Structure 1
Amino acid sequence: MAINTGTPFLLLLLQLLPLLPCLHAAPNRVTECTPPFTAAVGGKCILVSSTSKGSWYNMKDFCETLGGRLLTINTENIHYYVVKYLENNGYTGRDYWVGANNEHADGQYHWLDGSKVKMGTPFWGILNDHQEPGGGESEHCAILFKSDFYFMHDLACNKEVYPICENLSLSPPNISESQADKRLVTFNMGNNSAPALLLLLLFFMLPCLPATPITDRVTGECAPPFTAAVGGKCILVSSTSKGSWYVMKDFCETLGGRLLTINTENIHYYVVKYLENNGYTGRDYWIGANNEHADGQYHWLDGSKVKMGTPFWGAMNGHQEPGVATEHCGMLFKGDFYFMHDYRCNEELYPICEAK
């Protein structure tokens, strides 16, 4: 096939050039990590230090001296995978600095790359029945807190804590979704200006684009009854229909959907924000998880396994959910800031349905 090397083709190549450095470091394609960032976790190369300890600013300098920075928790399920790495490799029992603080002109929490930290569920934990951060004027830096299952908490920046560093050279380029979209719209399908070579190039560039639904965007329009575009899904939050988990499962399926699947941190975040911003708090909600399966594990209605632990599941009486042998169905629990909890399947709750 002949390749058209005219202006549209060259323009597209020029627009894609800034993405070339990330081909070896795309968020979900890290294959080899180099010292000292030898742990491949959630698409990042990280170092969990069990020897160096200091204030947030000292540990910020420590990571930067190594060619990295304190960990940023802003990609799909990175919080989950980092906590699993700590649990599986003997790194529990310590608190860890991450790269967020609120010592900025706007008073809000930011990561070291300048992006804003997502607040609330499922990232920030609970202390004394209040959701973090809660340190007021004295605590301005963020940790993963060992006593709260490694949810994020705020802490005084001068406290001595161990750091989690990430390798900066393996961070994807900082481009917005709109910039990424503009780079792709130049692709002209007419007049043979989209040859196989260009398709191949675009295929390899895809992992370099944002790997998560980091904005609350749905492609196309949401059709009734699933009219709320939330976290990349079209959903229905019912405030009128109420029943057991199985009755609400049938209710959603009758509408052409199913009970909500929460398989990324961002979906959980945006659903909770939707409940808070639209007057849907004050109720518990069934979601599409239960453990009444042959393997005894929690599954979603599409058959995929539910991720267990932080940051999805909340805590009750000092123990992380799920925690009761007689409770087999998953809900978003109003009494725990809409973290996931298990509950008796025959109890009557409202459903959150999603379009299939």
Structure 2
Amino acid sequence: MWQTVITLCLLANLSGVRATCTYPYVAVGEKCLFFATMADIQYSEARQMCHSMGGELAAVLTATQFKDIVYYIYDYGYSGQHFWLDGTDSAVEGQWQTSAGLPLPMGTPFWATTYGNIEPNNKENEDCLEIHPARNYYMNDITCDAINSPLCEEDVVSSSRNVTAPTSCPRPYVELAGLCLAFITWADQGWAEARQTCHGLSGELAALTDIEQLRAVYLYLHQESIAFDSFWLGGSDIEQEGSWKWTDGEPVIMGTPFWGFKENINSQQPQGGTAENCLYLDAQAGHYFSDGDCELLLNPLCMLEGQ
């Protein structure tokens, strides 16, 4: 499972951590970086993952920073991996900048260049930044819905976001409406497997028992640009059809304003009967509560145990 992979990756890098870097970040030149090789996700999800780890996608602003990252990739066995970096020209085509609004360096020695082709080339509306083994880890523009691993940098605060991972919630949890929640966008799992993923993070699938919690989650999903993802919650009526309970046995609140609709405004969820026994936040229906087949492959929304 992915939590085993992340543990092995982090343990392998412990010797590189210095006092100025907070675990699981390692010192790479002047930066504290986390090579999140357990996750293969889109650009927006990669940013959210870095935010939940107390950072941002790594910004490369000098030639030395770029050299240090490339050398580290080869020296520490990441040479088969491909990574997202902090950079986009989605606001104005051709004007590449970080999430904090800093201009990215162009040309040599950063971007890949061959006869007749100079990156970034916006070949297919490519607005996001990657480094990839196919280009020997030179920078390349790529579509933002491509799949790469996040390369996170610690404590880089972006002017475009307001949520940080507070010290009261251990990483990768973030604090929302008094809860420590982890949005596991890098795992697509059935409900039972999603519970196991949360258990591996000392948590459980989230129970949203107050409407302000649902509102806070909704705002976070849009702020972090992961509103296209659906998330498992810790509710089900597996034991008794129609009797919805959280994993701790407490009843799930029914009706408005928690439960939404799928196709017909006159038929409020849950409507799936015995075929749909697990609770999730449905991206296609405004992230209201919905019942679904427990084998659907969705992202876990974990809550730290003891809350």
> Which TM-score applies when normalising by structure 1?
0.37
Of structures 1 and 2, the larger Rg is shown by 1
> Which TM-score applies when normalising by structure 2?
0.43
